[in-house]
Amino acid sequence: MNPQSDLQQFQQHFGKKIEECMIHSVQTLNIPNTLKESMIYSLQAGGKRIRPVLLLATIQAFNKNPMHGLNIAASLEMVHTYSLIHDDLPSMDDDDLRRGKPTNHKVFGEALSILAGDGLLTYSFQLIAQDQHLLDEQKIHLIDLLAKSAGPEGMVGGQVSDIEGENQTLTVNELQSIHENKTGKLLTFSVLAGAVIAQASLKEMEKLQQFAYHIGLAFQIQDDILDVEGSEELIGKPVGSDESKHKSTYPSLLTMQGAKEKLQFHLQSALDSLESINIDSTILKQIAQLIADRNH
């Protein structure tokens, strides 16, 4: 079996499990049907499920059962999906397409799409609190970690800095700081949550945090590259949106060649961080490579 097929099989198997868990969880809620339909519409929009797959792959790296993290993986993807629904709104990025489909507000209207995002965000914490596989201390740790990663000290704060950075020429350090929060914190949660569930040691947590930090930056650099060189058909939304919004990006600040070199630096740093801990990091390394090589 070649290494790539290991990851593909893992993604296919657990990607399906994650989607089934999310849809089933929302379907069982006693809520208005329109809200349920709006939430499920975006949860079923597809995507690579990199964050929840990364969480489950981290658990497996410790030879623990990934299924014990399924609810947490689902809650993480719900938070990510809420952020996409809100990002697409006219008051934010004003996008008509997401993964090749009309964005949530184009189908359900702005008010309902905002509430669907709110519903996914808040329900994600309920899903963690009700998990039967975790100790209470683990639940508290995960809820605290997710709130910090997704909230004002993480993704939300990064989004604000990103909006305020439009029509300005940022330094590379300022751009990196934005993306450490906007994109990196939730990817870091993916890895650290898996480590919490697997009951990793302090040293293992530190090395995994370094790994997650570097793949988070690699993820955003590749996003910026794809916004210039990517295929609209593969990406599922128009290319060139960063330039049209006068955003600073890695290619605009470093040149395209410089951005690609920076991408390879963070990829290699991520891989190096796994070498000093005794885990089966095969799939984690393949996910890092996938993040750097992806074309959508």
Ramachandran region of residue 183, left (φ > 0), alpha (ψ -120 to 50) or beta?
Answer: alpha
Tokens 């198997």 belong to 13
Q: Range of 263's domain? A: 3-293
> Tens place of pLDDT for every residue, the chain, 296 residues?
455 578 999 999 999 999 999 999 999 999 999 999 999 999 998 888 999 999 999 999 999 999 999 999 999 999 999 999 999 999 998 999 988 899 999 999 999 999 999 999 999 999 999 999 999 999 999 999 999 999 999 999 999 999 899 888 899 999 999 999 999 999 999 999 999 999 999 999 999 999 999 999 999 999 999 989 866 665 555 555 666 667 889 999 999 999 999 999 999 999 999 998 999 999 999 999 999 998 87
Q: Provide the CATH number for the domain around residue 51.
A: 1.10.600.10
Tokens of 115: 């509430």
Q: Which residue, among 246, 224, 244, has the nearest Cα to 235 in the 3D structure?
A: 224
Give 6's DSSP letter: H
φ, ψ at 280 (rounded to 5°): -85, 90
Yes or no: say if 48 and 123 are a contact pair by the CB < 8 Å rule: no
Cβ distance 80 to 51 under 8 Å?
Answer: yes
Give pTM, 2 decimals: 0.92
Largest CA distance in the chain: 52
How many domains does one find in the chain?
1
